[in-house]
C-alpha cells in the first residue's frame, strides 16, 4: 500500500501535458442564428442547395426528433443538453463556393491543418516518407468540407471520394438509394437530430471490382464556439471492392461542452470489404471535468453481400463523454464483422461504448476485441450485443473484453448481451480485469524508463492486438496518443 501511494504522488507531480490541439483558429465565419427549429433545417438545406427529397427527409426527421424522448439506459451521466443553446451551422466565410484549389483556401485554415499534422498538400504527402502509400484527405472544418486531395487520381479508378454535400449534387441517385438505409432517422435521438441538421461528412463509392488505390481519410475539426458537429458519412463498396478509411478528430479547448453527433453508414456488397478506422482525440475536458466534447455517434455497417466484410477499429482517447456502438449487420451469407477497440478514459472522462453484431445470414462470423483503460476518476463501460437470429445457421462469435485499471478511483464495467435464437451458434466470451502492477512499473523504472514512459509502454502492450489492426500510417501516432492521454495517471 505504501508503494502505491508514493508512486501516485510521483506521477501526479509530473503534471499533465496540455491538450496540444487546444488552440483555436481566428477565421471569418458564417454562422447561423442560435438554436434548432424548422427554419434552421430549411436554411441548412438551402445553403447546401439540396433537392426537395432531401429537405423533406430532414423535415420528417426533425419532426420525429421533437417527439422522441431522451434515452436513459446509458451509464454515462451528463447535464441535460439544451439544444437551443448551440449553433447548428458554422462555416468559414466564402466556402459557399467550394475552393477550386488549395490556393483559394484561407491560408490560416491550411496553417491550422498543418499544425495538426494533417497532410493537406499532396506535395507534402508525396514528398513525405519514401515509398509511403499516398493518403487522400478530406478536411472538414466545423460544418464544411474544406478540401479533398487526390481527387483526380481516384477518379481514374472510378472511386468517388468527396463531401456528402457535393455527392448530393453530383451523384444524387447513389445518395438517395443508401442514405438512411443502415441508420434510419428514427433509430435514436441523436441519429435523428443528425438526419435533420447534418451539414457535411464524407461520401465514398468504390465501383465493382476496384481495390481503392490509397487510404481515404477525413479529419474533423470543430473550431467555432458552441457549435455542434453533425457530420454524416456514407461509404458504399460495390461487389468485389475494397476500401480502407480513416477518421481523425480534434477540437480546441473550451469551457463549454460541444455536441458531436455523427452518423456513419457503411454498405458492403458481394465480396466487398470496408475497413474503417477512427482515432478520436476530441478535447476531453480539463482535469476537473469542465468542458469537453460529447461524442454521441451512431455507426453501423451492413454486410449486405455474400462474403462481405466490415471491420471497425477505434482508438478513443478524447471527449468528455463517449457514447457509441459501431456495429455490423451480417445479412449476407458468409459475411464477417469485426470490432477492435481501445478506449482510454482519464481524469473525469466517461465512456459507454461497444458494438452490436447481428447475425442474420448463414455461416456468419464476428470478432470483438475490446481494450478499456481507465485512470484518474474516469468511468468506462463496455456494452456489447451479439444477436443470433433463428435462421443464422453456423454463426460464430468470439468476444474478448479486457479492462485495465490505473489507480484506485477509476471504474470499468462490462455489460455483454448475448441473444442466441439458433441452437447451432457458437458464441465465446472472455473477459479480464487487471491493474498495472507495481512490479511491472518498477521493472521498467529499473531499466531507466520514466514512469510516464513505462505506463505508455505497458498500456500499448495491453492494446497491441487492437493497435495492429490500424493502418500503419496512423499506428505510430495512435501509440503516442495513448502515452499522452495517460499522463498524470498512476501505476
Partner 1 sequence: MALLEIRDLHAEVDGKEILKGINLTIEPGEVHAIMGPNGSGKSTLSYVLAGRDGYEVTGGEVIYDGKNLLELEPEERACEGVFLAFQYPVEIPGVAGTTFLRHAVNAKRKYHGEAEFDAMEFVKFVRGKAKDLNMPDDMLKRAVNVGFSGGEKKRNETLQMAVLEPKLAILDETDSGLDIDALKLVSDGVNALRAPERAMLVITHYQRLLDYVVPDRVHVLANGRIIKSGDKSLALELEEHGYAHILEAAA
**Is the Cβ of residue 422 or residue 440 nearer to partner 1 in the bound state?**
440
The residue within the footprint of partner 1, chosen from 175, 463, 478, 481 (CB under 8 A), is 463
- Is position 443 an interface residue for partner 1 (rule: CB under 8 A)? yes
Chain-centre distance of CA 176, in angstroms? 24
Could you give the CA distance from residue 285 to residue 256 in angstroms, rounded to a whole number? 9
The answer to the question of residue 116 lying near partner 1 (CB under 8 A) is: no
Q: Does 439 bind partner 1 (CB under 8 A)?
A: yes
Distance in Å, CB of 168 to partner 1, minimum = 44
Q: Is 415 exposed, middle or buried (0-12, 13-18, 19+ CB in 10 A)?
A: middle
Residue 200 CA: distances (Å) to CA of 113, 139, 165, 243: 18, 11, 6, 20
Judge whether 339 and 469 are in contact, CB under 8 Å: no
Q: Does 469 bind partner 1 (CB under 8 A)?
A: no
- Which of 31-39, 114-122, 184-192, 463-471 is the region at the interface with partner 1 (rule: CB under 8 A)? 463-471
Answer yes or no whether residue 450 interacts with partner 1 by CB under 8 A.
yes
* Span interacting with partner 1, options 5-13, 41-49, 225-233, 248-256, rule CB under 8 A: 5-13
Interaction between residue 437 and partner 1 (CB under 8 A): yes
Q: Are 438 and 406 in contact (CB under 8 A)?
A: no
Give the shortest CB-246-to-partner 1 separation in angstroms: 22
Q: Residue count at the site for partner 1 (CB under 8 A)?
A: 28
Nearer to partner 1, 86 or 369 (CB): 369
Whole-angstrom Cα distance, residue 244 to residue 133?
A: 12
CB of 478 to partner 1, least distance (A): 14
Told to check if 462 binds partner 1 by CB under 8 A, we report yes
Q: Which residue has the cell 488552440?
A: 23
What are the angstrom distances between the C-alpha of 322 and each of 46, 123, 226? Answer: 32, 35, 18
* Residue 114 to residues 21, 132, 298, 322, 346, Cα–Cα distance (Å): 12, 19, 29, 27, 27
Give the residue with the Cβ less far from partner 1, 10 or 253: 10
- Alpha helices for 149-237 (secondary structure H): 151-156, 164-170, 172-178, 189-197
- Site membership for partner 1, residue 440 (CB under 8 A): yes
Does the footprint of partner 1 cover residue 433 (CB under 8 A)? no
Q: By C-beta, is 422 or 460 nearer to partner 1? A: 460
Which residues contact partner 1 by CB under 8 A?
2-3, 6-7, 10, 437-440, 442-451, 453, 457-458, 460-465
Amino acid at each position: 500500500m505504501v508503494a502505491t501511494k508514493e508512486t501516485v504522488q510521483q506521477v501526479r507531480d509530473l503534471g499533465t501535458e496540455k491538450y496540444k490541439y487546444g488552440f483555436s483558429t481566428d477565421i471569418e465565419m458564417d454562422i447561423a442564428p442560435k438554436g434548432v427549429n424548422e427554419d434552421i433545417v430549411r436554411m441548412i438545406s438551402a445553403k447546401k442547395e439540396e433537392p426537395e427529397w432531401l429537405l423533406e427527409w430532414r423535415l420528417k426527421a426533425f419532426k420525429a426528433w421533437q417527439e422522441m424522448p431522451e434515452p436513459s439506459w446509458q451509464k454515462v451521466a451528463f447535464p441535460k443538453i439544451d439544444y437551443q443553446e448551440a449553433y447548428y451551422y458554422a462555416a468559414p466565410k466564402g466556402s459557399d463556393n467550394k475552393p477550386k484549389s488549395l490556393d483559394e483556401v484561407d491560408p490560416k485554415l491550411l496553417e491550422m491543418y498543418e499544425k495538426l499534422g494533417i497532410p493537406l498538400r499532396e506535395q507534402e504527402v508525396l514528398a513525405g516518407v519514401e515509398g509511403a502509400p499516398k493518403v487522400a484527405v478530406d478536411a472538414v472544418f466545423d460544418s464544411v468540407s474544406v478540401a479533398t486531395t487526390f481527387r483526380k487520381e481516384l477518379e481514374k479508378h472510378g472511386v468517388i471520394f468527396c463531401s456528402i454535400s457535393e455527392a448530393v449534387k453530383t451523384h444524387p441517385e447513389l445518395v438517395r438509394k443508401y442514405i438512411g438505409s443502415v441508420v434510419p432517422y428514427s433509430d435514436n435521438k441523436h441519429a435523428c437530430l443528425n438526419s435533420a441538421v447534418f451539414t457535411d461528412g464524407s461520401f465514398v463509392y468504390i465501383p465493382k471490382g476496384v481495390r481503392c488505390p490509397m487510404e481515404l481519410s477525413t479529419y474533423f475539426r470543430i473550431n467555432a464556439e458552441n457549435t455542434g458537429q453533425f457530420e454524416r458519412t456514407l461509404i458504399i463498396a460495390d461487389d468485389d471492392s475494397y476500401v480502407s478509411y480513416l477518421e481523425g478528430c480534434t477540437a480546441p479547448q473550451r469551457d463549454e461542452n460541444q455536441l458531436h453527433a455523427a452518423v456513419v453508414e457503411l454498405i458492403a456488397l458481394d465480396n466487398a470489404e470496408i475497413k474503417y478506422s477512427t482515432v478520436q482525440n476530441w478535447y476531453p475536458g480539463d482535469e476537473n471535468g469542465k468542458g469537453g466534447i460529447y461524442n454521441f455517434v451512431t455507426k453501423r455497417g451492413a454486410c449486405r453481400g455474400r462474403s462481405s466484410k466490415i471491420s471497425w477499429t477505434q482508438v478513443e482517447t478524447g471527449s468528455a463523454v463517449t457514447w457509441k456502438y459501431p456495429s455490423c449487420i451480417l445479412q449476407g451469407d458468409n459475411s464477417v464483422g469485426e470490432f477492435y477497440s481501445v478506449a482510454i478514459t482519464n481524469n473525469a472522462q466517461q465512456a459507454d461504448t461497444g458494438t452490436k453484431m447481428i447475425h442474420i445470414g448463414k455461416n456468419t462470423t464476428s470478432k470483438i476485441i475490446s481494450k478499456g483503460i481507465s485512470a484518474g476518476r474516469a468511468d468506462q463501460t463496455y456494452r456489447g450485443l451479439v444477436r443470433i437470429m433463428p435462421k443464422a445457421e453456423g454463426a460464430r462469435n468470439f468476444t474478448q473484453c479486457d479492462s485495465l485499471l490505473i489507480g484506485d478511483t477509476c471504474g470499468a464495467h462490462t455489460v455483454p448481451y448475448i441473444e442466441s435464437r439458433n441452437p447451432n451458434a457458437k458464441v465465446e466470451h472472455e473477459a479480464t480485469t487487471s491493474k498495472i502492477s507495481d512490479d511491472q512499473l518498477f521493472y521498467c523504472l529499473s531499466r531507466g524508463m520514466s514512469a510516464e514512459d513505462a505506463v505508455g509502454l505497458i498500456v500499448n502492450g495491453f492494446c497491441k492486438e487492437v493497435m495492429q489492426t490500424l493502418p500503419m500510417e496512423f499506428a505510430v501516432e495512435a501509440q503516442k496518443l495513448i502515452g499522452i492521454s495517460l499522463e498524470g495517471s498512476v501505476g
